């Protein structure tokens, strides 16, 4: 009987990410401050040409301490699993990004499982990063279309 030899997946965040974060232990007080960091990461990811216009942050619920940052590395790695966060992709549908079908009641489904959902926090700032990415010719991938527009496929 043969054995499986499965590939491993490893990736690192771009070097600029750590330089863009506040000092360890910094506590974010407001949703706007938290979302501001996610938007800044997405903006810098486009500026540094290290990936698509998506940033993500995970915070400790009680203290507001940053637990983990993330940026979109899909194009860089050629791996669809390297999204910064799926919520950013849902917002990005406004400029043509589409990862496929999402239940109309996705917010209610998450809330029914005890997951808090905050919508439209700093929406205008986030949309401006997406539009800048689109305007400079960034790749707009679409899971329901046969091709991507705005650039070469990874």
What is the structure's pLDDT at 117? Answer: 84
Give the relative orientation of helices 123-135 and 31-47 as an angle to the nearest 10 degrees: 10
The answer for residues whose C-beta is within 8 angstroms of residue 117's C-beta and 6 or more apart is 107, 110, 111
What is the structure's pLDDT at 86? Answer: 34
What is the structure's pLDDT at 12? Answer: 77
- Round to whole Å and give the CA distance between 94 and 129: 12
What is the structure's pLDDT at 32? Answer: 95
What is the structure's pLDDT at 97? Answer: 52
Nearest to 95 by CA among 54, 55, 57: 54
Secondary structure (3-state) at 76: helix
pLDDT tens for residues 88-113?
Answer: 333 337 445 555 667 888 889 888 98
Provide the whole-model pTM: 0.67
What is the structure's pLDDT at 95? Answer: 45
Beta strands in the chain (DSSP E): 55-59, 66-71
Q: Enumerate residue ranges in the chain where pLDDT < 50.
A: 86-92, 94-95, 150-154
- Round to whole Å and give the CA distance between 88 and 119: 11
**Residues 7-32, buried b or exposed e (16+ Cβ, 10 A)?**
eeeeeebbeebeebeeeeeeebeeee
Locate tokens 């005890």: which residue? 114
Token pair belonging to 55? 């940033």
């Amino acid at each position: 009987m043969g054995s499986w030899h499965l590939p491993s997946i490893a990736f690192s965040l771009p070097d600029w990410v750590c330089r863009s974060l506040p000092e360890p232990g910094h506590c974010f007080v407001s949703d706007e401050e938290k979302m501001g960091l996610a938007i800044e990461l997405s903006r810098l990811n486009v500026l540094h040409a290290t990936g698509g216009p998506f940033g993500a942050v995970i915070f400790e619920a009680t203290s507001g301490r940053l637990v983990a940052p993330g940026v979109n590395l899909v194009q860089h790695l050629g791996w669809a699993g390297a999204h910064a966060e799926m919520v950013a992709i849902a917002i990005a549908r406004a400029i043509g990004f589409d990862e496929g079908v999402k239940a109309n009641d996705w917010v209610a489904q998450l809330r029914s499982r005890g997951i808090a959902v905050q919508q439209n926090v700093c929406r205008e700032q986030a949309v401006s990063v997406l539009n800048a990415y689109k305007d400079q010719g960034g790749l707009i991938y679409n899971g329901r279309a046969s091709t991507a527009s705005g650039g070469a496929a990874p």
